[in-house]
Amino acid sequence: VRVVSASTGVEQGRSGTVFVLQDVTAQQKLDELRKEFVANVSHELKTPITTIKSYVETLIDGALGNPDITKQFLEVILKETDRMSRLVRDLLDLSRLDYQQVQWELEPVEVKPLVYDCIQKLSVRARDKDIKVTMDVPEVPHIPSMMADWDRIQQVVLNILANAIEYTPVGGSVHVTAAAVGQYSDRVQIRVRDTGIGIPAEDLPRMFERF
């Protein structure tokens, strides 16, 4: 609890003090989550930077003379660079949302082409882990189109699919379905099911927290 203001006065021979209190529990929790988020991102950035530095040093020290090692190291460096780019992009997205700088370009979006496009973008990653990605998504009019920003809704589906692939063991599977829901079947539900490790039960209540 935080004291917002306080005043003391005397009226008709009686004195007293009035305090205005504000509950800051939610703000304190948000601050703690923000600190945890920053610490996690810092750790996530430190790891690829360390990897890239060590691989570059090894190449400079003489590994460039071996084409096989050079190719292997450069592939790792590329992957780690992509990883850092994703982290920086996420931070920029958070900043834009905080300052309400995101411009939503709403348009009718059909679900099947959206899901198919996302699966295609991640096909190489899935193939590298021998993960089978399938979809069962009906077309319009069996399922309504959505009013959405294509890039943003694609980002959501890509994030979920990428996590499903990343945390599913080699040889596993990921299955995407979509269906019309709601009283008038005017809403769309997209579901991603995988054979991976899943989200720990203790983390489920925090799925939609700010950080």
pLDDT digits (tens, 9 = 90+) for 140-153: 989 999 999 998 89
Residue type, 51: T
Instruction: Provide the 3-class DSSP secondary structure of residue 118.
Output: helix
Contact 24, 3 (CB under 8 A): no
C-alpha radius of gyration, the chain, whole number = 25
Per-residue pLDDT at 184:
87
Unique residue bearing structure tokens 């430190």 = 46
pLDDT in tens, 53-89: 988 998 888 888 888 889 988 988 988 888 888 888 7
As a whole number of angstroms, the longest Cα–Cα distance in the chain is 94
The H or E element spanning position 155 is helix 150-166
How far apart are alpha carbons 164 and 169 in whole angstroms? 10
More confident residue, 46 or 201: 201
Name the H helices within 61-139.
Answer: 67-98, 111-121, 123-128
Of 98, 78, 82, 80, residue with least CA distance to 37: 98
More confident residue, 209 or 177: 177
More confident residue, 134 or 44: 134
How far apart are alpha carbons 192 and 26 in whole angstroms? 31
Could you tell me the pLDDT band of residue 12, with boundaries at 50, 70 and 90?
low
Residue 110: both structure tokens together: 């059909």
For residue 206, pLDDT over 90 is answered with no
For residue 36, pLDDT over 90 is answered with no
Contact 22, 4 (CB under 8 A): yes
Q: How far is CA 27 from CA 41, 51, 107, 142, in A?
A: 21, 37, 35, 44
How far apart are alpha carbons 107 and 85 in whole angstroms? 28
How far apart are alpha carbons 130 and 191 in whole angstroms? 21
- Do you know the residue count of the chain? 211
